[in-house]
């Protein structure tokens, strides 16, 4: 018998159709989605938000740093310092976005002088605070089930204010730059920048060009109630 030969298999009438693998959605860096969120003139550090920085199947460092520079000129009337170091805070999941995370890992491994990666996946909330009576809601607001977002936001503030040998650009992103990113940056804006819940939702939806996904909108709503009713930040305003 010839090596590698295999007998032809009989066809099975009415058998199951062959499995179809759904192609992964192409992810492309969108400069329009990149925004300057905050800047500390004392430390010289920046906080940006945006979507996944991938272009032509590679990490889009040049496009990312050039867009950051453009936003700095637009908002601060000064260019980004040439020696700016990027702290890449990636919110994506290893479960179904590992192929995207790989681009970030490879780039930071080969370019440690340009960027450092922090992988910090966040998800949202399955239930809505609207489902609970006020008496129960008051108790649940102090449970740590979305504490990962609070913890990250506190770190963002600390990193922004920390002086280093080089100016640093914190870049918070997920895949689309609006849902998970909107939840984290929206929390930061409500807690530290005086923005209302409705303002951060409006900004996230303007960036996305669609409504915020339910999982992250529910998460942001929980956070808004916590900031307003437990921490007393009244600028959060109405929540619905």
CATH number of the domain that residue 133 is part of: 3.90.190.10
pLDDT of residue 10: 38
Task: Check residue 5 and give its pLDDT.
Answer: 32
Determine the average pLDDT of the residues in 15-31.
65
**Structural domain contains residue 19:** no
Q: What is the pLDDT of residue 1?
A: 36
- 188-208 average pLDDT score: 98
pLDDT at 24: 59
The reply to whether 12 falls in a domain is no
How far is Cα 153 from Cα 189, in angstroms, rounded to an integer? 9
Q: Does the structure show a pLDDT above 60 at 240? A: yes
Q: Which residues constitute the domain of residue 151?
A: 31-231
Q: What gap in Å lies between CA 1 and CA 23, rounded to an integer?
A: 39
Residue 214 lies in a domain: yes
* Residue 196 DSSP code: -
Q: What is the pLDDT of residues 46-74, one digit of tens each?
A: 999 999 999 999 999 999 999 999 999 99
**Do the domain assignments include residue 156?**
yes
Band of residue 41 on the pLDDT scale cut at 50, 70, 90: very high
Rounded to whole angstroms, the Cα distance separating 52 from 209 reads 16
Q: Tell me: the pLDDT tens digits for 84-134?
A: 999 999 999 988 899 999 999 999 999 999 999 999 999 999 999 999 988
Whole-number pLDDT of residue 210 = 98
* Domain total in the chain: 1
Under 8 Å CB-to-CB from 43, ≥6 apart: which residues? 160, 161, 162, 163, 164, 167, 168
**Cα within 13 Å of Cα(99), Cβ side:** 7
Residue 100, domain member (yes or no)? yes
Q: Residue-wise over 118-147: b if at least 16 C-beta within 10 A, else e?
A: bebebebbeeebeeeeeeebeeebeeeebe
Q: What are the backbone dihedrals phi and psi of residue 225, each rounded to the nearest 5 degrees, phi first?
A: -60, -40
Does 7 have pLDDT greater than 70? no
- Bridge partners (DSSP) of residue 46 are 39, 169
Q: Rounded to an integer, what distance in angstroms lies between the CA atom of residue 222 and that of residue 215?
A: 11
Q: What is the pLDDT of residue 145?
A: 61
Are the CB atoms for 72 and 64 separated by under 8 Å? no
Report the pLDDT value the prediction gives residue 53, as an integer from 0 to 100: 98
Measured from the Cβ of residue 193, the count of other Cβ atoms closer than 10 Å reads 14
Burial class (CB in 10 A: 0-12, 13-18, 19+), 18: exposed
Residue 1, domain member (yes or no): no
**Greater confidence, 13 or 174?**
174
User: Quick check: is 4 in a domain?
Assistant: no
Q: Are 214 and 196 in contact (CB under 8 A)?
A: no
Question: Which among 3, 1, 56, 50 is positioned nearest to 27, based on CA atoms?
Answer: 56
Average pLDDT, the chain: 90
Q: What is the pTM of this model?
A: 0.87
- Determine, yes or no, domain membership for 20: no
- Report the pLDDT value the prediction gives residue 4, as an integer from 0 to 100: 37
What local confidence, expressed as pLDDT, does residue 6 receive? Answer: 36
Element (H, E) at 59: strand 58-59
Percent of the chain with pLDDT over 90: 79
* H or E element at residue 180: helix 180-192
Please report the pLDDT score of residue 86 as a whole number.
99
The per-residue pLDDT for 95 is 84
Q: What is the pLDDT of residue 143?
A: 74
């Amino acid at each position: 018998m010839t090596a590698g030969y295999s007998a032809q298999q009989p066809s099975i009438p009415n058998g199951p159709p062959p499995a179809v693998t759904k192609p992964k959605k192409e992810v492309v860096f969108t400069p329009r989605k990149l925004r300057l969120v905050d800047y500390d003139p004392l430390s010289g550090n920046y906080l940006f938000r945006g979507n996944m920085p991938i272009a032509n199947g590679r990490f889009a460092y040049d496009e990312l740093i050039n867009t950051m520079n453009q936003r700095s000129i637009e908002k601060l009337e000064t260019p980004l310092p040439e020696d700016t170091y990027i702290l890449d805070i990636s919110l994506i999941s290893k479960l179904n976005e590992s192929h995207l995370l790989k681009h970030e890992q490879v780039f930071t491994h080969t370019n440690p002088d340009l960027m450092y990666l922090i992988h910090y996946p966040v998800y949202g909330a399955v239930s809505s605070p609207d489902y609970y009576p006020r008496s129960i809601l008051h108790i649940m607001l102090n449970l740590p089930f979305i504490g990962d977002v609070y913890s990250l936001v506190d770190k963002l503030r600390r990193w922004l204010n920390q002086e280093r040998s080089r100016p640093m650009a914190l870049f918070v992103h997920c895949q689309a730059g609006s849902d998970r990113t909107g939840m984290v940056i929206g929390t930061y804006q409500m807690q530290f920048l005086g923005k209302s819940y409705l303002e951060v939702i409006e900004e996230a939806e303007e960036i996305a060009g669609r409504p915020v996904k339910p999982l992250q909108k529910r998460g942001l709503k929980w956070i808004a109630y916590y900031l307003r009713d437990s921490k007393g930040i009244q600028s959060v305003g109405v929540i619905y």
